[in-house]
Amino acid sequence: MFLLAGRLPAQTKADYPIQPVAFTQVKLNDIFWEPKIRVNAEVSIPYTLAQCKKTGRIDNFLKAAGKLPGDNYTEFTFDDTDLYKVIEGASYSLQVKPDPKLALYLDSLIAIIGAAQEKDGYLYTFRTMKPAKPHDWIGSKRWEKEEDLSHELYNSGHLFESAVAHYQATGKKTLLNIAIKNADLLVKTFGYGREEKFPGHQIVETGLTKMYRVTGKKEYLDLAKFFLDVRGPGRANSQQYNQADKKVVDQHEAVGHAVRAAYMYTAMADVAALTGNEEYLHAIDDIWHDVVYRKLYITGGIGATGAGEAFGDAYDLPNMSAYAETCAAIANVYWNNRMFLLHGDSKYIDVLERTLYNGLLSGVSLSGDRFFYPNPLASLGQHQRSAWFGCACCISNMTRFLPSMPGYIYAQKENHLYVNLFVGDTAEVQLPAGKVKLVQQTNYPWEGSDVITMLSQTKAPFALHVRVPGWTNNEPVPGDLYAFDGGVAKPVKISLNGQSVNYKMEKGYAVIERAWKKGDKLEVLFPMEVQRIVAQEKVKADLNRFALSRGPVIYCLEGPDNKDSAVQNIVVDKSTAVQVAYKPELLKGVTVLEMQGSSTKRQLNSDELLKVSQSVVAIPYYAWANRGPGEMEVWIPYNEAAARPKPAPTVASRSKVTASVNNPRMFRALNDQYTPQDSRDASASYLHWWPKKATTEWVQYDFDSSHTISSSQVYWFDDGPWGGCRVPVSYTIYYKSGDAWLPVENTSPYTISKDGYNSVQFKPVATTALKLELKLPDDNAAGIHEWIVK
């Protein structure tokens, strides 16, 4: 989308009626985005490149080239794409800030990639390295399992996007030539009467449209359309999960894997713009409505469930188990930007902005080297940022997205210039009326003033379209899924050179048309009020709760800022006054919200709750989990029935947990005193032994001192019929006696059932430790939500 003209003779004709202003024409100087993009360049990109080396992703290419033995490979067949994506991000970064050392390293990586390519253009290291035991996902011949798990075309798609970015950044065709060779192979291989297969994971379609724009080869556009049109029922792997249960033009609801879906909707927009296909437009218009009106988190996240990383049912938006994958947030930005370029309506940028400042930005730590894969809206402390994931798609995706963020600020159509995002920058835009140079000065999103000053030397008559965000007019996001509770919308104030100015509203934009001259200053003042958001009643997870927003930023409560490091037990009245304070020393500089509320706490041996008044602090959602694990809550209870009182300390909660699975993150699940709704409840944390089967496993409590114990209650995790965990075949409780482990003498039978506590009574034992030993089923693992001992 962001092309540097004059290098290859692209022959495209039809395209989006509105075009983005390339990020290379926009130089940031603001306090919010520029530091984050700099951290990405200085920390995230080098870190991710180093991890690609450390984890063997670069070695995959060396093995495919015959320069290392092909005796093993990395974990996933799409691991090649992590290298492509970080090269794409590094290339974008080079366009903003030259780095000869980085450019040279990219050259060496591209040489390695080229050496791994087969003569006919095939590039897929997992097959080309010819391991003795091939990966289970790749099949015996090319493309055999493409509609399932091989990801051959997914790899090609990210290769194409990376190659276009590198070419635009450097003018070098080294990676682009590799991509052209691969794309030409796809053109020869796929089509009606040849290989009639759809991509198992979409992305090759948008990669091909980018290749078409750069090279002018219409065959690439035709192939992108083929990959969309061939998708549909009639094949073994055609299912909702991969959006292949229906032809794409017959899809009108968002279903299945959220990242695949949003990439496909983005591709449909691309192909529709380049071919004029009206059926694609009707489909994605309906799907967009379905997402925004029924399936969108207030953070802009999409994909409610970890089961298939997928969209859930309408209005099913759980908070603790929200998946809201980082990749899906990035894809949501791609898709909504395309929808704006098609329709010119600010509502798409409203969704884009909400996602950008919240559910997308939360995916990377402030330090740039810790990451989220899912982005939940509530936590008991089980959610922590990771240094790396075996499936690293979100990490490499973030490194490629952030450098291109300035490309979403402006757009143009003939003599119309759109200001979509409010970011401190200097931009140069070539309109038919002449070259326009302007500067935005703002401390958005912390402050509401944005001053746009014209720097052009000569007068230029054009229409400036300044987006008026929906949140300034009682609309948190488009649609009726969420609403502001109370309050009266305050007007946006717009003045030109200190005087009021006449403008007309068009599709959510304030349009000022005039002959602009050097020194003209347009000041826009957004009302940055704290607003309370409530969800539609059909969203059961948010009943009796509200969320806080200010401008585009969604807020959350986090443990480090609140009493006893607890937030699940906090209640705040909806009418409580909220104070705003900018804290330059906190979380790299954030505006916090402060208010009064109350909290409740349980007592030992009593049903009466202790209730106290307390101050409550909220921070921007994107900045949570930068100070270690802890509680977090976006949707704040205003009714005590929705809050979870802080549990009283118990023998179990004071114990040290160990287990035969080495994953300390899961250990806190056993004694967090959170009772799930049922055994499948993914909103509750749990410990599991997946993917083990038919083994004997254990979990152990080491007490803080000797205790006399006489009962155990276990709540099993069982995500059948689709998941991999079931209740165990049997289990036994042991207590520690000296250095020996002895079975307890149970006075009630061991019961094993789902959806409730399994209690066993035994003769009292004085001990310092208790162990639960369980036998896994022959075909499944097992798991535990909670283990209570008394």
The phi-psi region of residue 655 (left if phi > 0; otherwise alpha if psi is between -120 and 50; otherwise beta) is beta
- How far CA 186 is from CA of 129, 190, 196, 219, 222, in Å, comes to 20, 6, 12, 10, 11
Which residue did the predictor score with more confidence, 664 or 27?
Answer: 27
Let me know if 439 is exposed, middle or buried by CB neighbors in 10 A (0-12, 13-18, 19+): middle
Answer whether residue 215 shows pLDDT above 50.
yes
pLDDT tens-digit map of 107-145: 999 999 999 999 999 999 999 999 999 999 999 999 999
Q: How far apart are CA 161 and CA 209, in angstroms?
A: 9
> Stretch 323-329: mean pLDDT, rounded?
98
Answer whether residue 607 shows pLDDT above 90.
no
State residue 4's pLDDT score: 36
Identify any residues that bridge with 725 across adjacent strands, giving them in sequence order. 781
The structure tokens listed for 214 are 């750069």
pLDDT tens-digit map of 138-190: 999 999 999 999 999 999 999 999 999 999 999 999 999 999 999 999 999 99
- How far CA 63 is from CA of 129, 149, 435, 495, 729, in Å, comes to 5, 21, 50, 63, 44
> Stretch 273-284: mean pLDDT, rounded?
97
State residue 11's pLDDT score: 45
pLDDT tens-digit map of 230-239: 999 988 889 9
State residue 700's pLDDT score: 98
Q: How far apart are CA 324 and CA 105, in angstroms?
A: 34
> Stretch 731-745: mean pLDDT, rounded?
97
**What mean pLDDT is reported for the chain?**
95
> What is the pLDDT confidence band of residue 438, given thresholds at 50, 70 and 90?
very high
Answer whether residue 758 shows pLDDT above 50.
yes
pLDDT tens-digit map of 518-559: 999 999 999 999 999 999 999 999 999 999 999 999 999 999
State residue 2's pLDDT score: 36
> What is the pLDDT confidence band of residue 695, given thresholds at 50, 70 and 90?
very high
Domains defined along the chain, listed by start: 25-230 (no CATH), 235-363 (no CATH), 412-467+491-525 (2.60.40.1180), 537-641 (no CATH), 656-789 (2.60.120.260)
pLDDT tens-digit map of 665-694: 899 899 988 889 899 987 778 999 999 999
pLDDT tens-digit map of 37-76: 999 999 999 999 999 999 999 999 999 999 999 999 999 9
> What is the pLDDT confidence band of residue 306, given thresholds at 50, 70 and 90?
confident
Q: How far apart are CA 407 and CA 404, in angstroms?
A: 6
Nearest to 451 by CA among 437, 461, 438: 438
> What is the pLDDT confidence band of residue 282, given thresholds at 50, 70 and 90?
very high
State residue 685's pLDDT score: 85
Answer whether residue 5 shows pLDDT above 60.
no
What phi and psi values does residue 452 have, to the nearest 5 degrees? Answer: -110, 115
